Amino acid sequence: MFEDRSKKRTELGELGEFGLIDHLTKDIIYKNATTLKGVGDDAAVIHTKLTTLVSTDLLVEGVHFDLSYTPLKHLGYKAAVVNFSDIVAMNGTPTQLVVGIAVSNRYSVEALEELYDGIKLACEKYKVDLVGGDTTSSTSGLLISMTIIGEAATEDIVYRNGAKEGNLLCVSGNLGAAYMGLLLLEREKEVYKANPAAQPELEGYDYILQRQLKPEARLDIIQLLKENNIKPTSMIDISDGLASEILHICKQSDKGCSLYEEKIPIDATTVSLAEEFKMIPTVAALSGGEDYEVLFTIEQSDFETVKKLADIQIIGHITDKNSGANLITSSGAVIPLNAQGWDALKEKE
Amino acid sequence: MFEDRSKKRTELGELGEFGLIDHLTKDIIYKNATTLKGVGDDAAVIHTKLTTLVSTDLLVEGVHFDLSYTPLKHLGYKAAVVNFSDIVAMNGTPTQLVVGIAVSNRYSVEALEELYDGIKLACEKYKVDLVGGDTTSSTSGLLISMTIIGEAATEDIVYRNGAKEGNLLCVSGNLGAAYMGLLLLEREKEVYKANPAAQPELEGYDYILQRQLKPEARLDIIQLLKENNIKPTSMIDISDGLASEILHICKQSDKGCSLYEEKIPIDATTVSLAEEFKMIPTVAALSGGEDYEVLFTIEQSDFETVKKLADIQIIGHITDKNSGANLITSSGAVIPLNAQGWDALKEKE
């Protein structure tokens, strides 16, 4: 729907596999001292004195993204940032990225340049070096594989399994906006399909759309915590919705929790758009996903420090395992959390 | 063609994404002391005092493999080993693997178990820890993304760009067999398509088939060189055929070379099968690919040591750039090498 059909088109076959990788990566300058060798040999070479973190993501066209409303540059940016977010969730710093692209011949060289522009923009912003890649043909559509390398001192690494009874449950930013952005784009796509002459009604929703199309990894939050001498006891990033991530922490830490509905940070535009869609905003926060905020637990002794920090909200606390993982609703009802939070909430209605 | 249709079938949806990863990785025991945390958090955690090597590969069904004659266990083994080979080609040791799988719902849980059995077998043999993964649905077929982490002392790492004039060009094992194995499997597939009752004629070709379906990374060769105090000046693994890899070394080292046709190691069964296919065996070696042998250059002073080493053959030497990269045929003709070696050889006919 946003495609510019006037652009130049170079077929992938004109460059060949090696030519294509060279072309897409030729202007890259490595910025991290730990990068000894990037693209161009059998493997990238990295030397850090710290501990290494590795995480991989696969994104498939038609499953994870819809190119009818996702510009390729945004897709590249988001794919990279989502991958960086996994390192942030370990309390680490992303440093090197390797990218695999499988692409059908309906894509042009220019389309891949746009995708790579987004990836490079994310790398620049987060000071990550793009050190390697593999490009191949696919029989259908586009598939992106990203593996991010990060670093942290061993003693700084935060796992999902460290939450202790009495710990405070915290979240950065606000939740549910990315999901509302998705619903908005899906709605406008349906309008466009019914009437291709219709203009999408996206005005006033810049923030919501940006949360869906151009999310950020919260490297700033883990830096802020470090500056304030706070090391979370457990941490995870929110890719699948608040409920699912809380359950991961509870399960791996062998604990329960109390989450307070009224404490969940939700932006005003998320609330109003949710109402337009006749949806409970809390549901978008619990089950929407793709916010890429960090969810973490801290010692009670850090309460006074954390409550002064901007963009961090205390939303509950960790309990013993037998109490279970519960949502305390605004009306005071106690509802067991599950990964599909809306089921539980429907019972409330 | 080799499929066993009597097996139990569990649909992927029955386990869900997290259940599937847990199921496929539940019995993994980490063997490397450098693996601090494997599957189960936002990122794997690795601590080595050495330098880290990273390489990624994407394998797409219908492009890189044909499941009508590739058993899934073999596919998993080969995908992993091919990825390990990139670390070996840097003179490093593969240590940790992360795997991404995109799969359509025509695959069952049992099919993915077979694939993972192959991956785990390769990991066991090469002492590599499978530390992470991502499993997702795909709209068509199977796609495997592998990222291998390896280690080496910085001073031991060998790049493609270190070949010097007068260096000897060496290769391990023998070449062309994997390609002949592919031709054989393709031929039997055609026979089977024409007459599904026909039995494939594969007897006597075990070695050739194994080279195609179950290749090995030559970790033993780099260990042998190290034991004999030989550090190659440049190195690459043979995935795309000898000609293409020699050209990579020459281009990146800014040198030329003389490759002697009669020195290229080719197994007797490769020669006889090539003749059956009315093909020049040298062509299979130059352009066939997928042998995963190592191609490397050494100082002339290492000649006496290397010539005594089993399974290593000296096949030529490095020249100045202006002489170009040439094949000296058995009849003494000098033919410029190109990545599609058969074109040059056809001119000879």
Helix (H/G/I), strand (E/B), else coil: A170: strand
CA distance B227 to chain A (A): 23
Length of chain A: 349
Cα distance between residue B308 and residue B312, in whole Å: 9
Q: Report the pLDDT value the prediction gives residue B23, as an integer from 0 to 100.
A: 87
Burial of residue B304 (CB within 10 Å: 0-12, 13-18, 19+) is: exposed
Phi, psi of B328, deg, nearest 5 = -100, 110
> Which residue has tokens 């009508």?
B68
Which of A132, A139, A160 has its CB closest to that of B60? A139
Q: Tell whether A163 is covered by a domain.
A: no
- Segment A241-265 shows an average pLDDT of 97
Mean pLDDT of chain A, nearest integer: 92
Q: Are residues B182 and B215 in the same domain?
A: yes
B241 vs A14 pLDDT, higher one: B241
Residue B14 predicted with pLDDT over 90: no
Closest CA to B169 of B250, B110, B99: B250
Core vs surface per residue A210-239: b (16+ CB within 10 A) or e = ebbbbbbbbbebbebbeeeebbbbbbbbbb
Cα distance between residue A79 and residue A215, in whole Å: 9
Decide if B147 and A54 are in contact by the 8 Å CB cutoff: yes
Total domains in the fold of chain B: 2
In the sheet that holds A35-37, the strands lie side by side as: A35-37, A44-46, B51-60, B142-152, B93-103, B129-137
Bridging pattern class, strands A129-137 and A93-103: parallel
Q: Are residues B73 and B179 in the same domain?
A: no
Q: Report the pLDDT value the prediction gives residue B17, as an integer from 0 to 100.
A: 66
Helix (H/G/I), strand (E/B), else coil: A81: helix
Residue B303 predicted with pLDDT over 50: yes
pLDDT-based confidence at B260, cuts 50/70/90? very high
Cα distance between residue B54 and residue B16, in whole Å: 30
CATH number of the domain residue A344 falls in: 3.90.650.10
Q: Report the pLDDT value the prediction gives residue B344, as an integer from 0 to 100.
A: 35
Decide if B98 and A55 are in contact by the 8 Å CB cutoff: yes
Q: What single-letter DSSP state applies at residue B301?
A: G
Residue B16 predicted with pLDDT over 80: no
CA distance A181 to chain B (A): 23
Q: Report the pLDDT value the prediction gives residue A342, as an integer from 0 to 100.
A: 39
Q: Tell whether A3 is covered by a domain.
A: no
Which of A37, A55, A87 has its CB closest to that of B132? A55
Q: Which of A100, A126, A156 is the last residue of a domain?
A: A156
Q: Is A143 on the interface with B (CB under 8 A)?
A: yes
**Considering Cα of A178, then A183, then A184, then A190, what sign does the dihedral take?**
positive
Q: Tell whether B242 is covered by a domain.
A: yes
Decide if B139 and A62 are in contact by the 8 Å CB cutoff: yes
Q: Is B87 on the interface with A (CB under 8 A)?
A: yes
**Tell me: the pLDDT tens digits for A152-179?**
999 999 999 999 999 999 999 999 999 9
Flag the least confident range among A26-35, A69-78, A199-208.
A199-208
Q: Are residues B177 and B130 in the same domain?
A: no
Q: Is B58 on the interface with A (CB under 8 A)?
A: yes
Q: Are residues A196 and A317 in the same domain?
A: yes
Q: Report the pLDDT value the prediction gives residue A42, as an integer from 0 to 100.
A: 95
Residue A46 bridge partners (DSSP): A35, B52
pLDDT-based confidence at A340, cuts 50/70/90? low
Q: Are residues B221 and B336 in the same domain?
A: yes
Contacts of B132 in chain A (CB under 8 A): 54-56
- Segment B247-257 shows an average pLDDT of 97
A344 vs B198 pLDDT, higher one: B198
Q: Is A17 on the interface with B (CB under 8 A)?
A: no
Q: What single-letter DSSP state applies at residue A15?
A: T
CA distance A104 to chain B (A): 11
Q: Are residues A187 and A138 in the same domain?
A: no
Q: Is B153 on the interface with A (CB under 8 A)?
A: no
- Segment B5-21 shows an average pLDDT of 75
B150: its two tokens:
């390896």
Q: Tell whether B1 is covered by a domain.
A: no
Cα distance between residue B164 and residue B319, in whole Å: 8
Decide if B147 and A236 are in contact by the 8 Å CB cutoff: no
For every residue of B249-290, DSSP letters joined together read HHHHHT-EEEEEGGGS---HHHHHHHHHTT--HHHHHHH---
Q: Are residues B175 and B80 in the same domain?
A: no
Which of B134, B160, B252 has its CB closest to that of A56? B134
Residue B53 predicted with pLDDT over 90: yes
Residue B331 predicted with pLDDT over 60: yes
Q: Please answer whether residues B295 and B246 qualify as being in contact, where contact means their C-beta atoms are separated by less than 8 angstroms.
A: yes
Q: Are residues A228 and A325 in the same domain?
A: yes
Q: Please answer whether residues A150 and A90 qualify as being in contact, where contact means their C-beta atoms are separated by less than 8 angstroms.
A: yes
Closest CA to B50 of B35, B38, B34, B36: B34
Cα distance between residue B230 and residue B91, in whole Å: 11
Q: Who contacts A300 (Cβ-Cβ below 8 Å, separation ≥6)?
A: A166, A167, A168
Q: Tell whether B162 is covered by a domain.
A: no
Supply the range of the domain harboring residue B323: 168-348
Cα distance between residue B284 and residue B266, in whole Å: 9
Decide if B61 and A134 are in contact by the 8 Å CB cutoff: no
B22: its two tokens:
């847990």
Residue A17 predicted with pLDDT over 80: no
Q: Tell whether B31 is covered by a domain.
A: yes
Beta strands in B50-203 (DSSP E): 51-60, 93-103, 129-137, 142-152, 168-172
Q: Please answer whether residues B172 and B84 qualify as being in contact, where contact means their C-beta atoms are separated by less than 8 angstroms.
A: no
Q: Tell whether A59 is covered by a domain.
A: yes
Q: Are residues A71 and A142 in the same domain?
A: yes
pLDDT-based confidence at A315, cuts 50/70/90? very high
C-alpha dist (Å) from residue A52 to A130, A153, B85: 16, 9, 21
Q: What single-letter DSSP state applies at residue A167?
A: P
Residue B205 predicted with pLDDT over 50: yes
Contacts of A252 in chain B (CB under 8 A): 40-41
Q: Which of A156, A186, A208 is the last residue of a domain?
A: A156
Contacts of A131 in chain B (CB under 8 A): 54
Q: Is B337 left (phi over 0), alpha (psi -120 to 50) or beta?
A: beta
Decide if A57 and B133 are in contact by the 8 Å CB cutoff: no
- Which chain A residue's Cα is nearest to B99? A56
Mutation choice for A interface testing from B51, B58, B239 by most A CBs within 10 A: B58
> Which residue has tokens 């039995």?
B199
- Segment B309-321 shows an average pLDDT of 97
Mean pLDDT of chain B, nearest integer: 92
Residue B51 predicted with pLDDT over 90: yes
Q: Report the pLDDT value the prediction gives residue A284, as an integer from 0 to 100.
A: 94
pLDDT winner (highest mean) among A129-133, A188-192, B296-300: B296-300
Q: Are residues A140 and A37 in the same domain?
A: yes
B-proximal residues of A, 31-50, CB under 8 Å:
36-37, 40-48
Would you tell me the crossing angle of helices A72-88 and A109-126 to the nearest 10 degrees? 30
Decide if B102 and A45 are in contact by the 8 Å CB cutoff: no
Q: Report the pLDDT value the prediction gives residue A347, as an integer from 0 to 100.
A: 38
Q: Please answer whether residues A285 and A264 qualify as being in contact, where contact means their C-beta atoms are separated by less than 8 angstroms.
A: yes
pLDDT-based confidence at B347, cuts 50/70/90? very low
Q: Is A101 on the interface with B (CB under 8 A)?
A: yes
Which of B53, B89, B145 has its CB closest to that of A45? B53
Flag the least confident range among A249-263, B75-89, B197-211, B312-326.
B197-211
Q: Please answer whether residues A340 and A287 qualify as being in contact, where contact means their C-beta atoms are separated by less than 8 angstroms.
A: yes
pLDDT-based confidence at B111, cuts 50/70/90? very high
Cα distance between residue A171 and residue A293, in whole Å: 7
pLDDT-based confidence at B340, cuts 50/70/90? low
Q: Is B132 on the interface with A (CB under 8 A)?
A: yes
**Tell me: the pLDDT tens digits for A300-313?**
999 999 999 999 99
Residue A114 predicted with pLDDT over 80: yes
Decide if B52 and A46 are in contact by the 8 Å CB cutoff: yes
Closest CA to A303 of A164, A170, A165, A155: A170
Q: Is A199 on the interface with B (CB under 8 A)?
A: no
Cα distance between residue B212 and residue B71, in whole Å: 12
pLDDT-based confidence at A199, cuts 50/70/90? confident
Closest CA to A136 of A184, A166, A104: A104
Contacts of B157 in chain A (CB under 8 A): 45
Decide if B54 and A36 are in contact by the 8 Å CB cutoff: no
Cα distance between residue A245 and residue A239, in whole Å: 8
- Segment B303-325 shows an average pLDDT of 97
Question: How many contacts (CB atoms, under 8 Å) link A and B?
Answer: 191
B260: its two tokens:
């002697």
Cα distance between residue B311 and residue B224, in whole Å: 10
- Segment A192-213 shows an average pLDDT of 88
Q: Report the pLDDT value the prediction gives residue A287, as an integer from 0 to 100.
A: 93
Cα distance between residue A21 and residue A23, in whole Å: 5
Decide if A60 and B137 are in contact by the 8 Å CB cutoff: yes
Cα distance between residue B346 and residue A262, in whole Å: 77
Contacts of B134 in chain A (CB under 8 A): 56-58
Helix (H/G/I), strand (E/B), else coil: B300: helix
Q: Is B56 on the interface with A (CB under 8 A)?
A: yes
For every residue of B314-325, DSSP letters joined together read EEEEEE-GGG-E
Q: What single-letter DSSP state applies at residue B83?
A: H
> Which residue has tokens 């869609």?
A277
Q: Are residues A152 and A275 in the same domain?
A: no
Decide if B41 and A150 are in contact by the 8 Å CB cutoff: no
Which of A53, A54, A138 has its CB closest to that of B60? A138
A94: its two tokens:
């992303």
C-alpha dist (Å) from residue A6 to A3, A9, A115, A174, A336: 9, 9, 18, 39, 53
CA distance B27 to chain A (A): 17
Q: Are residues A213 and A145 in the same domain?
A: no
For every residue of A194-242, DSSP letters joined together read H-TTSPP--TT-HHHHHHHHS----HHHHHHHHHTT---SEEEE-SS-H
Decide if A252 and B45 are in contact by the 8 Å CB cutoff: no
Q: Report the pLDDT value the prediction gives residue A83, as an integer from 0 to 100.
A: 97
A273: its two tokens:
């758009």
Q: Report the pLDDT value the prediction gives residue B18, as an integer from 0 to 100.
A: 66
Q: Tell whether B271 is covered by a domain.
A: yes
CATH number of the domain residue B50 falls in: 3.30.1330.10
* pLDDT more than 70, % of chain B: 94
Q: Which of A101, A126, A156 is the last residue of a domain?
A: A156
**Tell me: the pLDDT tens digits for A58-102?**
999 988 999 988 999 999 999 999 999 999 999 999 999 999 999
A-proximal residues of B, 254-313, CB under 8 Å:
none
Mutation choice for A interface testing from B56, B64, B85, B240 by most A CBs within 10 A: B56
- This model's pTM is above 0.80: yes
Q: Report the pLDDT value the prediction gives residue A140, as an integer from 0 to 100.
A: 81
Which of A92, A143, A149 has its CB closest to that of B102? A143
- Which chain A residue's Cα is nearest to B48? A51
